[in-house]
Structure 1
């Protein structure tokens, strides 16, 4: 099995908690779950598959830990790496920028040579008006609203991880 690492950016703990839930469902050890502010090229090189998660802040911005983290990823050789994205947002208060930060990560990495996994998530059953994380009619990763739709989180995680497991 390929070595999987999870990297998240979290200010309030929501995305960190979601990263922990993903790790538990996928059987990934806590030692393979990192904050984006700890990301190094060596860490990137240690994994075959990276699950990258971010919350969306302000007017659709990346979470702060990712500003240096994305630079690390851009300086790493991602050819042959598999990347799956997950993001969290607030679909009620920020319906016009829902999970935009996940879309920013996708845009920054789409020409890096990596292969995206879990990047055709249906927008059905979501309530939002706009998202930079929607490309060709689908989310580029797992979109979660653990504030307004927490009752859907575990099902969304299970559905997405079941799909990911088919490619591992």
Structure 2
């Protein structure tokens, strides 16, 4: 398997918990874990495959640590690299921009030549709008709602990770 990094903020409670579930399902020995708050261009570019954790803040914004790294990403050539993106959102509390962070990040890396893998079904979610939507009935990545659907998280993570293992070969 190619070199894979998982990037998320170590200081986010819910995203960190979901990240640990992903790491456990993927196998810690198969991943390099990187704190998204400390990433730089050199460290970012050393991977072939990326698993990116991105929450959606406020009214559909990236968290500060990712938002501050966007200008650096905009200058990178990510051709040949694969990105799998997961995020947390609240489909009842923020139904008009549910998990927008996933879509914002997917659009960003695709614009730099990367391939986004790990699309998931939108079935089972109820919200008004989301930039995470792509295709007929898919999200760009794994959308988790710990506020309203915490019992579905483990199964969603395991199914997603199994698909990534095939994509990342």
TM-score, normalised relative to structure 1: 0.91
5+ unaligned residues in a row in structure 1: which ranges?
Answer: none
Structure-2 separation of matches of 1:30 and 1:48: 13
Q: Which residue of 2 is the match for residue 128 of structure 1?
A: 127
Deviations 1:39-98 (A, max 9, x none): 111112221101111111111111111012223322333111111111110111111111
Q: Which residue of 1 is the match for residue 16 of structure 2?
A: 16
Tell me which stretches of 4 or more aligned residues in structure 1 moved more than 3 Å: 9-12
For the 8 Å contact 1:20–1:30, the answer to whether it is kept is no
**Against the structure 1 CA distance between its residues 29 and 43, is the aligned structure 2 distance closer, same or farther, given a 3 Å change threshold?**
farther
Q: Which residue of 1 is the match for residue 68 of structure 2?
A: 68
Q: Which secondary structure does the structure 2 equivalent of 1:55 belong to?
A: coil
Q: Which residue of 1 is the match for residue 39 of structure 2?
A: 39
Q: Which residue of 2 is the match for residue 157 of structure 1?
A: 157
For the 8 Å contact 1:7–1:50, the answer to whether it is kept is yes
**Against the structure 1 CA distance between its residues 159 and 31, is the aligned structure 2 distance closer, same or farther, given a 3 Å change threshold?**
closer
Structure-2 separation of matches of 1:22 and 1:53: 10
Q: Which secondary structure does the structure 2 equivalent of 1:129 belong to?
A: coil
Structure-1 separation of matches of 2:60 and 2:18: 19
CA RMSD in angstroms comes to 1.8
Structure-2 separation of matches of 1:28 and 1:14: 19
Q: Which secondary structure does the structure 1 equivalent of 2:143 belong to?
A: strand
Q: Which secondary structure does the structure 2 equivalent of 1:61 belong to?
A: coil
Structure 1 residues 110-125: aligned runs within 5 Å: 110-119=110-119, 121-125=120-124
Q: Which residue of 2 is the match for residue 101 of structure 1?
A: 101
Range moving further from structure 2, 29-38 or 81-90: 29-38
Structure-2 separation of matches of 1:29 and 1:19: 15
Shift of residue 10, structure 1, vs aligned partner: 6.7
For the 8 Å contact 2:5–2:50, the answer to whether it is kept is yes
5+ unaligned residues in a row in structure 2: which ranges?
Answer: none
For the 8 Å contact 1:9–1:63, the answer to whether it is kept is no
Q: Number of residue pairs matched?
A: 167
Q: Which secondary structure does the structure 1 equivalent of 2:22 belong to?
A: helix
